[in-house]
């Protein structure tokens, strides 16, 4: 067992004890030995923390432990299946509150990646205006070809943060292995796999070229979307530890009073936040997974601008169909269809009763139709849905959990702008449009075209398959002429393979011919 990792774990436990994190655990729920140990640990608790709320204790402890623990907390906020829904909700509010590092250090990072002084890259380079666990942002200016200056935001990786994360990850792995070894019930949560996911997530987040690519992809996806955009990336001044992009002049969505004073329509902006997120998730399958108020601006033209794409989520076609159909099913009160979608997606095992499952979903959906629209939380509904599916042995779907947690944040942002926001009326146009395009006649034609394309590829491959079959037959004849023989079992297997190739080719040709005939005569 690595002594250094064990020491770091002990230090982390001491800081959490001092900040009162262990004081929020219910003693009656623990066995006698653990209950006694917890009482002893609580003796380390500082008096000043005893009046703090549970979420404040945990966030303060993680902040004191440093950047990698802040990132750990933010990551676990997306995994309520691991830490529990209450703790995950507490961690959702965790924001980076890390002191900035010096200008000279920032300049050294930039110069090491471009091989040139900062003064040659930028016409001006200012003090940091925002600092987080992984990086900080500096205002800068570049000189255009016509001599004018353009303001930019330069994101610089915190020096030594990669090594710090690698060191702390060893401690996380040690804790995960200890949990799996000495606490059998935790094995179903696969702690080591959870740390693997965290390690991969942080590795990707610390390469700013990938964040730049995410910005570029989102810009392409939303090019024609009304009222939404992302900053433009300056690729010539972007590297692994440096991201240069357009400076956004505007107000953060946290400044509700300022936005209202500017004369903007708050309810319209709240609806724009919800509809933009749903377009990204349902239409594109690619969404910003950290859309809190600090990452959303309203620019001078009234456009919603999203920044900080270090954390993103993806949904495949199947997940997008699942999301659209369950939301539409709740809107139209078609609970049987909502249940069927779960089974069709393979999320709920086939041995479960679809009618009983539909009954459970009805218990979630009906109450929302008895309340004012402003009282209905779509995020809460998705949370309840995931809770109910657990009763029917639904396996954890990480991508859906990230979506649900992002929806909680997005809905919260929208309701700060419009407390009476009708989530269902706001979401309905986006969901209906996707369903009409993808599950209606146009969508079916597109699926058919995809099927024909696949068959066309198979037809194009038939000469290659025939050539391979002919080559195999020739080789077998040559071996026979040389007096080489296979045993009966091998010879039979080769015969079956030859027959299968021939039969597959004939079937493919008949299917293609039939489809062409249908296309001609219908």
Say which DSSP state 222 is in.
Answer: T
Among residues 165, 279, 132, 155, the alpha carbon closest in space to that of 212 is found at: 155
324/431 Cα distance (integer angstroms): 6
What is the DSSP track for 59-76? HHHHHHH-HHHHHHHHHH
Q: For residue 307, how many other CB atoms are within 10 A of its CB?
A: 21
User: Does residue 355 carry a catalytic annotation?
Assistant: no
Are residues 381 and 217 in contact, defined by beta-carbon separation less than 8 angstroms?
no
CB of 339 closer than 8 Å to CB of 347:
no
Burial class (CB in 10 A: 0-12, 13-18, 19+), 58: buried
Total count of residues recorded for the chain:
522
Which one is catalytic: 60, 290, 308, 418? 290
Q: Which H/E stretch holds residue 245?
A: strand 242-246
What angle separates helix 3-18 from helix 161-182, to the nearest 10 degrees? Answer: 90
Distance CA 465, CA 2 (A): 55
Give dist(CA 95, CA 74) in Å, integer: 8
Spell out the residues 6+ positions from residue 284 whose beta carbon is closer than 8 angstroms to its own.
Answer: 221
Q: How far apart are CA 71 and CA 48, in angstroms?
A: 25
Assess contact for 160 and 241: CB atoms under 8 A: no
Catalytic residue positions, numbered? 290
């Amino acid at each position: 067992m690595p002594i250094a990792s064990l020491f770091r774990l002990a230090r982390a436990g001491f800081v959490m004890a001092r900040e009162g994190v262990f004081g929020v655990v219910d003693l009656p729920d623990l066995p006698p030995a653990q209950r006694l140990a917890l009482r002893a640990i609580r003796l380390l608790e500082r008096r000043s923390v005893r009046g703090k709320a549970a979420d404040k204790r945990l966030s303060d402890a993680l902040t004191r432990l440093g950047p990698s623990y802040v990132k750990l907390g933010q990551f676990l906020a997306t995994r309520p299946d691991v830490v529990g829904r209450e703790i995950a909700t507490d961690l959702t509010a965790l924001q980076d509150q890390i002191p900035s590092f010096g200008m000279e250090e920032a300049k050294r990072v930039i110069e090491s990646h471009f091989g040139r002084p900062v003064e040659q890259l930028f016409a001006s380079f200012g003090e940091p205006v925002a600092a987080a666990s992984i990086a900080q942002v500096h205002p800068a200016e570049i000189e255009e070809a016509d001599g004018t200056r353009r303001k930019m935001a330069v994101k610089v990786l915190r020096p030594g943060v990669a090594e710090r994360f690698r060191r702390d990850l060893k401690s996380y792995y040690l804790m995960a292995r200890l949990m799996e070894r000495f606490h059998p019930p935790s094995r179903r949560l696969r702690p080591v796999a959870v740390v693997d996911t965290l390690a991969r997530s942080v590795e990707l987040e610390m390469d700013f070229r990938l964040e730049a690519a995410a910005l570029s992809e989102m810009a392409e996806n939303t090019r024609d979307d009304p009222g939404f955009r992302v900053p433009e990336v300056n690729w010539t001044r972007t590297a692994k530890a440096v991201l240069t992009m357009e400076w956004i002049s505007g107000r953060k969505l946290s400044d509700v009073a300022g936005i209202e004073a500017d004369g903007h329509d708050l309810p319209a902006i709240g609806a724009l936040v919800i509809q933009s997120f749903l377009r990204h998730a349902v239409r594109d399958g690619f969404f910003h997974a950290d859309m809190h108020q600090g990452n959303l601006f309203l620019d001078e033209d009234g456009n919603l601008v999203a920044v900080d794409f270090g954390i993103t989520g993806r949904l495949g076609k199947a997940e997008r169909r699942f999301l659209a159909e369950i939301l539409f099913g709740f809107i139209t009160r078609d609970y049987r269809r909502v249940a069927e979608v779960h089974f069709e997606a393979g999320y709920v095992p086939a041995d479960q009763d679809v009618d009983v499952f539909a009954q459970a979903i009805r218990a979630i959906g009906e109450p929302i139709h008895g309340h004012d629209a402003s009282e209905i939380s779509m995020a809460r509904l998705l949370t309840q849905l995931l809770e109910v599916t657990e009763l029917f042995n639904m396996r954890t779907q990480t991508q859906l959990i990230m979506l649900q947690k992002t929806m909680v944040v997005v809905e919260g942002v929208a309701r700060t702008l419009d407390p009476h926001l009708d989530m269902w009326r706001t979401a309905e146009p986006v969901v209906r449009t996707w369903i009409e395009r993808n599950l209606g006649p146009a969508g079916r034609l597109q699926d058919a075209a995809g099927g024909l394309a696949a068959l066309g590829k198979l037809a194009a491959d038939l000469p290659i398959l025939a050539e391979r079959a002919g080559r195999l037959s020739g080789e077998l004849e040559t071996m026979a002429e040389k007096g080489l023989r296979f045993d009966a079992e091998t010879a039979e297997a080769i015969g079956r393979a030859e027959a299968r190739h021939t039969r597959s080719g004939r079937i493919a040709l008949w299917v293609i011919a039939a489809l062409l005939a249908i296309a001609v005569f219908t």
